[in-house]
Chain A
Amino acid sequence: MIEVSGLSKHYGSKRAVDDISFTVQPGKVTGFLGPNGAGKSTTMRMILGLERPTAGQALVDGKKYSQLSSPLTSVGALLEARAVHPRRSGINHLRALARTHGIPNSRVDEVIDITGLSSAAKKKVSGYSLGMGQRLGIATAILGDPSTVILDEPVNGLDPEGVIWVRQMARYLASQGKTVFLSSHLMSEMSQTADHLIVIGQGKVLADQPLQDFLNQTGDDQVLVRTDDPDGFAEALRRDQVGVNKQDDGALVVSADGRDVAQRAQSQGVLLWEITPQQASLEQVYMSMTSDSVEYRSSDPNAGLGSGAANSTAGAESTGGHSGGGAHTAAQPEATPTGQGENYQPSHSTEQAPWNQEEK
């Protein structure tokens, strides 16, 4: 178990981490979400004793990391996949770390096999691809079969098969009663892996709750309904002051709970042949929550692409209420519990949007 209490880290006047407290429980995967510069890596480094806190403390199994008698078997960490001497082979890197605790070479061979690095283990790390480096980092993290695993952006650079493998491993470790704490900027990844979320922005904890509660906090109930007469039913709902949006495919997203919508349809004599409760996507809730906490804001990528490109986005921006040029990325997909219109995603999708497949 990881216990963080009153943890702060200041660099001069900048508060990278500002008095945060949370507990990472064993037996579940706890996701650590936040925009770039939010303080995720700094927090993880402080837990591992690589940064001295300005205030507060971080304990692993009730002790400071440096006071653990067997750090490698207590905590396995992947902080920077390339934290390896490039002129040393992967197997020798692992053996050197194993030597500190007297872990035998057979265990090193085992984690190399587990992480699929057998064919590259004897090559110098300088020749590794990003994905191979990431696998070596994960091999380092599980070397001591630790009771707590801390992974900072573990799926960065991994191919889809590797992403699935990391997801399965995180779930498996948690199922074995281990504490699994991982950060990722791939929110769809979090939605498939984490049981619990800690959201951090500008050094402060913005949310610390189960994933489901996090997703349910968008306010009004919404349902997606399909009917043979969407226009007529939508008009009837509007007359009753019920929020409704028609999708491109004819479906209606109605701001009411399912029973209420069904009753209204029945009273109107309208046949509904689909009623699906809607949930905001993790991306939407996250972006809504952290929109004021992003440290690095991007300008509109279309702004410099000429008038044609700018014109093509003007309509979309006007419906979303954003002004052209200078719109920051966090605000772009902002959650709008009512009236999301065409931007609305019915639930947290298993598909990754192109923008969140990129490396941070």
Chain B
Amino acid sequence: MIPMDLKIKSSNNQRFFVSQKSSVSKTIKIALAGNPNVGKSTLFNTLTGTRQHVGNWPGKTIEKKHGCLKYKNKSIDIVDLPGTYSLTAYSEEEIITRNFIIEEKPDVIIHIVDAANIERNLYLAVQLIELRANLILALNFTAYAEKKGIKIHEKKISRLLGVPVVKIEANSKKDVDELLGLAVAASKKCTEPKKIRYGKEIQHHVSEIENLIINQIKLPSHLDSKWMAIKLLEHDDEVIGVLKSFKNSCQVLEEIAKVRRHLEAIYREDIDTIFAEARYAHIEGLVRESVTTDLQKNISLSDKIDSIVTHQIIGVPFFFLIMWLIFQVSFTLSQPLTWLIDHFFVFLRDKIILYLTSVSAPNWTISFIGDAVIGGVGSVLLFIPNIFMLFLAIALLEDTGYLARVAFIMDRLMHKIGLHGKSFIPLLLGFGCNVPAIMATRSLDSKKDRLLTILINPFMSCSARLPVYVLFASAFFPKDQGAVIFIIYLIGIAAAIASGLIFNRTLFKGLSSPLVMELPPYRIPTITGLVIHMWERGVSFIQKAGTVIFLLVVSTWLLGNLPFGVDYASQESLIGRAGMFIAPFFKPLGFGTWQASVALIQGFIAKEVIIGTFGAVYGVGSEGLASVLQNVFTPLSAFSFMVFVLLYVPCIATVAVIKKETNSWKWPLFTVLYTTLIAWLASLIVYQGGLLLGFI
């Protein structure tokens, strides 16, 4: 057993290629590296248990997970590096991984390898060895590989690579404990990996450049000259940038360019291909000696499932069936919980108000504690069952491997608005709740795809807006309720598509990101894995969005109750005055009353609050609301109002989560302004166009 002694550690800032002189401590630093979908998270979970610290890499939106544990009286710090296929500078994940290895110099790196796909996985191992990482290979899914007819002789690989190799199942405590023992042993002495054989010609030129660097440039000790030589030869922009900061670099770079041209001329290939070929050739030789394959000819279950779910005709309907089930199940399961939370807070509020009245506390204190504090906390917690259920559903789709298939079948459709298939799930989840939807964009590779998907997400009409539509549709279009609500949803989708097209041609012009992704084999997810997945995302939502939501709820309460002595949200209150002030802006849209304005301001907290606010400002309960509204709205202005509610500022929670996910205030502010502008224009067109066409 691993004695668990988990502590939360804050991440320290890092800059490019600056060696972190760690203070003298006996903590062993271990990093986990590996390709995506090889069980790295499972291993991390088995190692650290359920309590682990999730944050972001400094200045990045990529998750950084780490945990501390004790093993035989030694404290160990484990960092889960992002999943990467390579250590070029292609993606942020790759840059983070290699900078971490160079700068933080972890004592040991455990590279987790999918045994069923060892050749591709070793491509990363070779590059880790190039980087002089103190490596241990952990072969995962060996049982599965053997069933497929792939038998790996780990001792031979170990001998050929010169690093310890061990077979594990990432969810087995025993295996992982053994691995940890090996890692602790390896941390004491550096392994001496065997040289990677690139072939004589390349080898010769790498040494030539290495000597050139050693002779001409004063490299700091944490930069390895051979690795630099390889990367410079490969034309790695980041490393070239680093070299340029030294004296004499121009000469060296010129010389390197000459060698590169020479190699490209001999091999008649570009330098990337030359190195890829050399590395794969080395791996092939190694695999030939240490792996015996007797591939079973029968079609695997994975292939059978794929032939259905990626089918040209069946694929898409099957996907919608799955999504329908997810929404049904998650909303049905979360409803009783939501009800419970709601009633608990009502109960709590009543009890506290009763108590405060009994001690004759001033009215404003009662209202503050009852409406703002408890109401505020309640409105945050009310979201939680729904959000957690949707997070669980996403985790399930992700961990089984189905999510990648969805991306595949939806790619053609999404391509039309300049996105990939991968963006489809976040957009679809938006119909449930925009918050988990925006957090789900983490699965997208490129920054541009993420931003674009986040920015158009609020137009997917979330479930909280539905009650508003239902109220208005039943009051004004009793015969065509369904059709009217459907049209509203379609307008949302149209706004999303149109915005996607506009952003693609303006904000993100020229930033096309190619679709290249792996379809991982189907796997049965572990319950712990799913729960941890759901939990850490859910908790991070509560922590980050919760504070913002709470603060805004409290400040709206203040606006509704100041100056002292006014009725809540009445015309004399600050919010009422604000409503009066902005009402003229809504006049051309057909709803220029201060009441509607106040409802819209309150709707910023959460869209479902709009109904309650109408009730408060008109002084009626939910039963009488429809008839009151019929007096102040016409069918046309009601429809215009619905369109506005659909499109204008997403709720606070969404804005807060955009802030968190984009790591800046720029995009949430942009979203607020942009959506309001679009909403205003769309409602204007609806109302004025409707008037012209003779509707009232």
A and B part of one assembly: no
